[in-house]
Amino acid sequence: QVHLQESGPGLVKPSETLSLSCSVSGDSIKTYYWSWIRQPPGKGLEWIGYIFYTGNTNYNPSLKSRVTMSVDTSKNQFSLKLRSVTAADTAVYYCASRADWFDPWGQGTLVTVSS
């Protein structure tokens, strides 16, 4: 049973870089694609992108210019960086397994962009 856990700062200043990690347990990170999805407070889900352990990525066109994902196979974890954040990037950020459908999901971590 795959288990995912997000980690990272809960507060980021405007114009800075949001950095999150997702630790994978219960399976090798080489098994699946791995995804990031976010949900602004009170709003719906927005797909951010996905990555394979080989480094193959696919990002949401609306975020592509600001997003970088990476995988650390030695730690069995993958990461998200979102540059030049604004208040509009305030959201609960989820990591999830797979890229066709998403299962399972991490519990999510709230990231607030504020000075």
> Which residues form the interface with another protein (CB under 8 A)?
35, 44-47, 50, 58, 60-61, 94, 99-108
Nearest residue (CB) to another protein, 45 versus 73: 45
State the SS3 of 20-75: EEEEEECCCCCCCCEEEEEECCCCCCEEEEEECCCCCEEECCCCCCCEEEEEECCC
The least distance separating another protein from the CB of residue 13, rounded to whole angstroms, comes to 26
As measured in angstroms, the least distance from the Cβ of 50 to another protein is 8
- Nearer residue to another protein within complex by CB, 83 or 99: 99
Judged by beta carbon, residue 8 or residue 108, the one nearer another protein is 108
For 26, phi then psi, to 5°, come to 95, -10
